[in-house]
């Protein structure tokens, strides 16, 4: 199948066909593939846009420079949030490949995006990257007075099984001076972290 017909398949209503096209695009890509997928991130068609996000994730680490560039420079918030989501997909698909530091740095800057959809997507992506991104999350959490961002970061931290995550969440959950909502979020994030530990413990 040609690249053009594979790109058409990304719009297909059948998710299995979209998935197959996505991996085939990743396997048969040339120098035009990444720019072409990046161009779809502005599309109104949500199915097409999400398929492009996943296809960029399927390609992997090579997409990181373009994604970071648009995450930080695009004036379209849909493109910026799609870039953050695509970076999360890269981390999901290539768990055993060290995530590029420029990707983590870019997402850390994305946490300060004025658009909530973008900073939530950036926090989620850093949560998916895990331990290598934890310092960035905690640093921004420490310096923010944006409640929505703090909650997004706490939720991301709850997916990173690390002593520092537990320490920060416990401290916030017990901090009488902290915002009530932040304390509640820290509490439920702690429960999720314990579930995570329990699951990984039961797998060993």
Q: What is the pLDDT of residue 19?
A: 95
Alpha-carbon distance 178 to 147, whole Å?
11
* Phi, psi at 176, each rounded to 5°: -60, -30
For residues 81-87, give the mean pLDDT: 98
- The residues near 40 (Cβ < 8 Å, ≥ 6 apart) are 7, 10, 48, 49, 51, 52
Closest by alpha carbon to 89, among 143, 26, 155?
A: 26
Is a pLDDT exceeding 90 seen at residue 137? Answer: yes
CB neighbour list of residue 105: distance below 8 Å, 6 or more residues apart: 68, 136
Q: What percent of the chain has pLDDT over 70?
A: 98
Quickly state the pLDDT bin for 197 (edges 50, 70, 90).
confident
Lowest-pLDDT choice from 1-5, 71-75, 111-115: 1-5
Q: What is the pLDDT of residues 110-126, one digit of tens each?
A: 999 999 999 999 999 99
* Cα dihedral across residues 88, 51, 7, 68: positive or negative: negative
Give the model confidence (pLDDT) of 138-176 as tens digits: 999 999 999 999 999 999 999 999 999 999 999 999 999
| Mean pLDDT over each residue of the chain, to the nearest integer | 94
Domains and their CATH numbers in the chain:
3-132 (1.25.10.10)
pLDDT at 204 over 60: no
- For the chain, how big is the Rg over CA atoms in Å? 18
Q: Give burial (CB, 10 Å; 0-12/13-18/19+) of 164.
A: middle
């Amino acid at each position: 199948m040609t690249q053009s017909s594979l790109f058409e398949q990304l719009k297909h209503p059948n998710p299995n066909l979209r998935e197959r096209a996505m991996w085939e695009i990743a396997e048969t890509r040339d120098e035009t593939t990444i720019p072409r997928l990046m161009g779809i991130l502005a599309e109104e068609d949500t199915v097409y846009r999400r398929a492009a996000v996943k296809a960029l994730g399927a390609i992997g680490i090579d997409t990181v420079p373009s994604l970071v560039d648009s995450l930080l420079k695009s004036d379209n918030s849909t493109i910026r949030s799609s870039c953050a989501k695509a970076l999360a997909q890269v981390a999901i698909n290539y768990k055993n490949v060290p995530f590029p530091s420029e990707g983590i740095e870019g997402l850390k800057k994305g946490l300060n995006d004025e658009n909530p959809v973008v900073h939530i997507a950036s926090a989620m992506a850093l949560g998916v990257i895990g331990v290598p991104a934890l310092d960035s999350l905690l640093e921004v959490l420490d310096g923010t007075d944006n409640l929505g961002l703090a909650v997004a970061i706490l939720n991301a931290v709850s997916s990173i099984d690390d002593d520092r995550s537990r320490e920060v969440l416990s401290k916030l959950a017990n901090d009488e001076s902290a915002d009530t909502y932040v304390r509640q979020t820290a509490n439920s994030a702690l429960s999720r972290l314990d579930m995570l530990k329990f699951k990984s413990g039961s797998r060993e």
